[in-house]
A and B are shown apart, each in its own frame.
Chain A
Amino acid sequence: MLDDRFDDQLRDAARDYNAPPETPRDEIWDRIVAARTDRADESEKAVRSVRYFRPLALAAGIAALLGLGVELGRLTVHTPQPVAVAPSAVMTPKVSAAAYQLATTEHLGQAEIFLTLFRASVRQDGGGNERLASATARELLASNRLLLDSPAAKDARTRALLQDLELVLAEIAQLSPQPRSRDLELIKEGLDQGGVISRLRIAVPAGGSTTQGAL
């Protein structure tokens, strides 16, 4: 009985929990329209970047096939009884894994360079060209989301890194053209505390990114 009365009191008091203001309908609608236009552009860019990666993936595939061929040759020499192997069934996952590995390394390399430059610009002059930084972050965010949904994210460490990277990129992508210095400072702190840049450096092997050493 006492419980019932208290439950009623609870329900009454709970109605004020995070009481919402009036819905800013038009503002949210405008944002939806703008975001959908942005995302349509992003997916177009992502398709273009997939097209860009396709020759690299093909090259990686050929390299992996050659490597696998050599390995199979070695196995045949050492094994007295030749074993029948269905080449396509064995090779496809390896080829695909190599292609995703290459795309991931390239992406992480680009993200590392971008974040290093971004952090340096915040340190030196409290930021500069936020519009450009935001646009670059959006492009990287699109590739990042593609990779998160791909087999490249099966590896737990890579997945965690891509997820943390997504958070940082999303924050930079949402920067207004004239951000408050506190916003920039928070992003920089996030970068420093999460160790995203150092984890990117560890994940990208020396020479892994085509632009490595530019800094």
Chain B
Amino acid sequence: MEYVRDAVRIHDLTLRRRVDDKELIARVLEGDPSAERRLYDAHVDRVFRLVYRMAGDLDRAKDYTQETFIRAFSRLADFRGEAALSTWLGSIAISVALNGLRKVRRMRDREVALDEAPQMGRLSVEAEPDLKTRLAQAIDGLPDGYRAVFVMHDVEGYTHEEIASSLGVHPGTSKAQLFRARARLREALADFAKD
């Protein structure tokens, strides 16, 4: 019974939030700067959490959050309200983060190729880290698509529908990618699974 009441309360909150978002968007489009700030305040935590999880770096997370809202404000007139505003913002955020991280990786690859190539092998002979450290390394090693789905679903609690809408894929694809991501992680941490 308590469970049903919670579900109804969450549903009501979601509806109320959608109405609030609609009003705020209308006011932003009319040029009300205080509405921009309110809209930002309502969604910044979720955006920041997602990009921080993806980037693992405070400066980059700030950059990606900043870029997400700049893009969102400039394209707000195109938002048709088919998905929740938070989902739409999530799709901008994940695209900004993935593109940004690709650029960082390209630059880092260039540096590593020339400067640190002989040192790379040493990493593997370091002391055996604990599950969390090994897991973090394994998540870092996932392909971008798998990592995005894993972080959004298993770490940040997005639904497959939200992930699909954010990444522009079918919910079935999101489920399949999560399944493969977990399989890869299980494989990478097989020795822990035995213990």
Contacts and interface: CB of A to CB of B under 8 A. Distances in A.
Interface of A: 2-3, 6-7, 9-11, 13-18, 20-21, 23-25, 27-29, 31-32, 35-36, 39, 167, 189-190, 193-194
Given A24-B62, A28-B44, A190 B107 contact: yes
Interface residues of B, number: 41
A9 B131 contact: yes
A3 B179 CA distance: 12
Contacts, number: 88
Contacts of B58: 21
B48 A10 contact: no
A28 B37 CA distance: 11
A17 B135 contact: yes
A35 B70 contact: yes
Contacts of A14: 135, 139, 150, 154-155
B66 A193 contact: no
A39 B48 contact: no
B107 A23 contact: no
B128 interface: no
A7 B192 CA distance: 12
Interface string B52-71: 11111010011001100110
Contact of B103 (A21, A39, A167): A167
Most B Cβ at <10 Å: residue of A6, A14, A23: A14
Nearest to B114: A193
Given A20-B49, A23-B44, 19 more contacts: A6-B189, A10-B154, A10-B182, A10-B189, A11-B154, A13-B131, A13-B135, A14-B155, A17-B151, A18-B56, A25-B40, A25-B41, A27-B62, A32-B66, A36-B70, A167-B103, A167-B106, A167-B107, A193-B111
